[in-house]
Amino acid sequence: MCEIVLVSACLAGLKTRYDAQASPHERVIELLREGKALPVCPEQLGGLPTPRDKAEIDSGSGEEVLKGLSRILNEKGEDITDKFVRGATETLKIVEMMGIKRAIMKERSPSCGVNSIIRGGREVRGKGVTTALLQDRGIEVISSDSL
Ligand code: SF4
């Protein structure tokens, strides 16, 4: 059986982003066509609508959010941390059920970022909430920027 890789749904060309657009990546779409990729959008899985307000990790990184030391605020200032944490845990459920070992995630997202996230409109070092949880459980997470 071939290895299935979890991929951020927006990289697979699905319009799951906050602005209802996609961030298609040729290599990810190729994996999907070959039946080797499973697209998932943690924010949709967490119960957020599309389109939705832009959101950022308030301070620190995804690890701090998971530990309850930081939160996720949308551009209206609403605390939507619980949706992000739910999206991360639901994504982990899929990964564990399917025995997935690797993921390709969209850089700079508060859910999927691997090396960087956006804060105050600027790129800063950090990882998204779902990436932090997957890495904590031993999943190899590859940045979309490194493909
Ligand atoms: S949460 Fe992840 S998969 Fe969903 S739109 Fe944002 S970057 Fe893409």
Residue nearest to atom 5 of ligand 1 (CA): 17
**Average pLDDT over every residue of 93-98:** 98
Q: Is the CB of 112 under 6 A from ligand 1?
A: yes
Q: What does the pLDDT read at residue 2?
A: 84
| pLDDT tens digit sequence for 18-33 | 999 999 999 999 999 9
Q: What is the Cα–Cα distance from 40 to 68, expressed in whole angstroms?
A: 24
**Average pLDDT over every residue of 123-147:** 98
Tokens 């999927």, residue located: 112
How far, in Å, from the CA of 41 to the mean position of ligand 1?
5
Residues of the chain with pLDDT > 90, as a percent, come to: 98
| pLDDT tens digit sequence for 78-89 | 999 999 999 999
- 12 pLDDT band, cuts 50/70/90, is very high
**Average pLDDT over every residue of 94-104:** 98
Residues 6+ away with beta carbon under 8 Å from 54: 18, 74, 75
Distance of CA 54 to CAs 33, 69, 72, 79, Å?
A: 30, 21, 10, 12
Q: Is the CB of 8 under 6 A from ligand 1?
A: yes
- Paired residues of 74 in beta bridges: 55
Number of other residues whose CB lies within 10 A of the CB of residue 102: 15
Q: What does the pLDDT read at residue 54?
A: 97
Q: Is the CB of 73 under 6 A from ligand 1?
A: no
